[in-house]
Amino acid sequence: MTLADELARQQRSISVAEFFEKNKHLLGFDSPTRGIITTIKEAVDNALDACEEAGVLPDIYVRVTRTGPDTFRISVEDNGPGIVPEQVPFVFGKLLYGSRFHQIRQSRGQQGIGISAAVLYAQLTTGIPTLVISRTGPEEAAFRFLIQIDIQTNEPVIIRKEKIDWDRTHGTLVQVEFRSTIAAKKKLLEYLKYTSIVNPHARITVEMEGETALFERVSDEAIACPKTIMPHPHGIEIGQLMRMIAGSRAACGEFLVTSFSRVGKKTAHEICRAAGISPDTPVSSLSPAEQKKLLSAMQNAKVPAPTTQVCLSPIGEDLIVRSLEKEFQMDFVKARTRPGSVYSGHPFLVEAAIGYGGKLPADGNAIILRFANRVPLMYQQGACAITGCIAGITWKNYNVAQAGLPTGPLLIMVHVASTNVPFTSESKDAIAGIPEIEREVTLVLQELGRELKTYLSRRDKSRLAEDRARAVCAIIPDIASKVAEIVELPVPDTSLIEGRLMRRVVVKKMSRNGHVTIEVRNHMATTNVLSLYDISRNPAEDARPAPSFATELDGEYTRMWQLEIPPGGVWTAEYSGTGGGTVQVRGIPPENIAVVDLDAE
């Protein structure tokens, strides 16, 4: 037997499951710490996609339970439409099996790898089958499965299948158990928080190590599920065109009109004429050389870009702002959604937001939130085109400090939605540097940067005015008191003098002898309706008048009064306390307000 014969005996095909078993890092399972996040990510993504396709508001429950020193059980339950019993084994037990791979529309998952990869990882690390319960409606029975994957054939193995009583009318529960660590607990909670930001219609509850966290929805309106479109002539390649031609019996002109997006009869005839082919020629009769000419004519033809209103699902500026305000306390936040664009025939659009101040960390780099098709990108930040665009902007032009990346109390969020997000790898952690996408990200961030610069300039002017107001409010009463003492007359009311100097709504806060007083004076010529927020560590249960509402978080109390003050009017509130904290006013332009904390003098 020759060496060639011996080598031939050793050669054999490799199944997809076998390949990913040895290369699990390609799917985001490169460490036990990351494995738990990737598993929950894939299950939550599937749940959100299913709920959106059914047109229901997602209610997703995530539970992480320790079953051993280094093993954990992950359960993810949703209220989606469920999965028919015949398909459950293939959805969870077969890699590269799914319904979205051939659809040209925005979706979180496409390849049909994610959740089955989690099943494979559990099987590899613990050998425990994956539990799946699903029900498709109140009139249908619920089925319980125990599933594994045959590594050699990439086919599902059903360990057990049975009907059960389940109190859910529809939905799916998946439970996997594998070796991992809870060291990434903070990052896991961050992933779920960020997921709630870009999915404002979803409610996500997580229970982990005896603690429960709720990420509430901010919108009660289910989003419209993106619709599938046909491929665009500028995004096609010769292999794909040959495959489409092989399955068609239409004439060339009809084939172009019915198989591609934004191609009408006139455009189809122009493409055929440029390729030297009659529109009536059966497309299946074209030779390989004629097919290449047809492709060249298609890519050179002036065809409108594919529509983005149908196949994409942007979050929207208002919902982005509301979602960010729910999770982060900031003084300023703005969002922008760019018009749809195209790269290589693939529709995409970019949304972004900038937040500043409040309780954002004042030191270090800005918080960068990257998203693709409503999914957080948690790893490989440095390899992502979004990060490169952020670093490439001269933030000093917008009054923001910069050391490579912008620094200070700043939050930058970028969301790329596309029918085909160009990820750098199968783990979907970073977006590749596509010039068209980089251009849109840069433009939207520059637009938001100008908004931020305007805010910071106004804030600085307002601070200067407040410093002057503080000086007026602190010095004039002292001068009046001293003069009255010298001339032996009563201390005059200095509020009229303050009004002439200020000509705005003045809010004073002071504490004396264990009592806090907040005074609001309207020195303007018009009635002002405003919301007054007092934030401090004083419970102020005896506040008079009582606030419209009061909340407590981590020992910090927030009180809000709704006020309507006529010209020259005065409003006062008092409560027991030691002062401190901050006072905020909303409902009036910042240039018409002066907030003075007399305790700071």
Q: Cβ(507)–Cβ(531) under 8 Å?
A: no
Cα torsion 465, 467, 468, 473: sign: positive
pLDDT at residue 574, rounded to an integer: 93
Q: Cβ(189)–Cβ(206) under 8 Å?
A: yes
pLDDT at residue 473, rounded to an integer: 66
Q: Cβ(50)–Cβ(395) under 8 Å?
A: no
Tens digits of per-residue pLDDT, 361-394? 988 899 999 999 999 998 889 899 999 999 999 9
The whole-number average pLDDT for the span 388-416 is: 93
Each as own residue / partner, the long-range contacts of residues 43-46 (CB below 8 Å, 24 or more positions apart, any chain) are: 43/74, 43/76, 43/115, 43/118, 43/174, 44/76, 44/192, 44/195, 44/204, 45/108, 45/109, 45/114, 45/375, 46/108, 46/109, 46/114, 46/115
Grade residue 341 by pLDDT with cuts at 50, 70 and 90: confident
Grade residue 102 by pLDDT with cuts at 50, 70 and 90: low
Residues with Cβ within 8 Å of residue 455, at least 6 apart in sequence: 332, 356
Q: Where are the domains of the chain?
A: 16-215, 233-300, 316-456, 494-600
Strands (E), 210-303: 211-215
Tens digits of per-residue pLDDT, 26-56? 665 767 777 788 888 888 988 998 898 888 9
The whole-number average pLDDT for the span 434-453 is: 94
b/e 418-449 (16+ beta carbons within 10 angstroms → b)? bbbbbbeebbbbbbeebeebbebbbbbbeebb
Q: Tell me the pLDDT of the chain averaged across its residues.
A: 86
The whole-number average pLDDT for the span 108-127 is: 77
The whole-number average pLDDT for the span 394-412 is: 93
The whole-number average pLDDT for the span 448-457 is: 92
d(CA 115, CA 481): 75
Asked if residue 152 has pLDDT above 70, the reply is: yes
In this prediction the pTM is 0.76
Asked if residue 101 has pLDDT above 70, the reply is: no
Tens digits of per-residue pLDDT, 505-547? 888 888 888 899 999 988 888 999 999 999 998 999 899 999 9
CATH 1.10.8.50 given to domain 233-300: yes
Q: What is the DSSP string of 305-363?
A: PPPHHHH-----HHHHHHHHHHH---SEEEEEEPPPEEETTEEEEEEEEEEESTTS-SS
End-to-end CA distance of the chain: 97
pLDDT at residue 23, rounded to an integer: 61
Tens digits of per-residue pLDDT, 483-493? 778 877 787 76
Residues with Cβ within 8 Å of residue 336, at least 6 apart in sequence: 317, 351, 352, 353, 444, 447, 448
pLDDT at residue 13, rounded to an integer: 59
Asked if residue 21 has pLDDT above 70, the reply is: no
Asked if residue 100 has pLDDT above 90, the reply is: no
In what helix (H) or strand (E) does residue 599 lie, and over which residues does it extend?
Answer: none
316-456 folds as Ribosomal Protein S5; domain 2 (3.30.230)
Asked if residue 172 has pLDDT above 60, the reply is: yes
pLDDT at residue 22, rounded to an integer: 63
pLDDT at residue 410, rounded to an integer: 94
CATH number corresponding to 16-215: 3.30.565.10
Where does 31-105 have alpha helices with state H?
A: 32-54, 88-93
Architecture of domain 494-600: Sandwich (2.60)
pLDDT at residue 572, rounded to an integer: 94
pLDDT at residue 308, rounded to an integer: 76
Tens digits of per-residue pLDDT, 1-13? 677 777 677 666 5
Q: Cβ(313)–Cβ(375) under 8 Å?
A: no
Task: Name the token pair of 527.
Answer: 């009635």
